[in-house]
Amino acid sequence: MFKRFGGLLLALLLAGQAMAELKVAVVDYRGALMASDAAKAYTQKLKKEFAAKEEEIRKLGEEAQRLQERMQKDAAILSETEAADLKTQFEAKVQDFEYLKRKYQSQISKRQEAFLRESEPRLQRALKSLIEANQYDLVLPRQSVVHVKPTLDITPELIKALNKQK
């Protein structure tokens, strides 16, 4: 691995003059897409669509919390049978809560991934037009770069380009 890295470093050093003329940029693809107007509208649509499910999960969590508080508060006065029943009810509520929460998060995640897949062509068109307009020689994904000057990050411009598209 060091040989490959060393060879790459040597090539970069030897190409110093060519590098000075290279126009480089970085972009956060997913960040740009999720900050776009279309993604914000989609997120609002999902919130409305899943509001009832969120409310159901919230209520289930509150019920479990009330049962737990009751178990702690009344521990000294409950019979063993009552305490066992309360514990069983609590554990069932927690199980239901966790199941519904996982199911909800899975549904949201699937819908968001579908949105990202559907939006990919728009993202590519916007990025291509940005690259051509600014004549970039190299555009790297932000996630693969350790450090970059903020002036080289074209994510805000990509967001603007995405928002202009219909």
pLDDT in tens, 56-90: 999 999 999 999 998 889 888 888 999 899 999 99
Residue 131 lies in a domain: yes
Residue 7 lies in a domain: no
Residue 43 scores a pLDDT above 60: yes
Q: What is the domain count for the chain?
A: 1
Give the Cβ contact number of residue 150 at 10 Å: 8
Q: What's the pTM value of the predicted model, to 2 decimals?
A: 0.68
Q: Which amino acid is residue 66, in one-letter code? A: R
Residue 159 lies in a domain: yes
Residue 56 lies in a domain: yes
57 is in which domain, residue-wise? 14-164
Residue 116 lies in a domain: yes
The percentage of residues in the chain with a pLDDT greater than 70, rounded to a whole number, is 87
pLDDT of residue 1: 44
> pLDDT band for position 15 (50/70/90)?
low
Residue 124 lies in a domain: yes
Residue 2 scores a pLDDT above 60: no
pLDDT in tens, 84-135: 999 999 999 999 999 999 999 999 999 999 999 999 999 999 999 999 999 9
Residue 9 lies in a domain: no
Residue 107 lies in a domain: yes
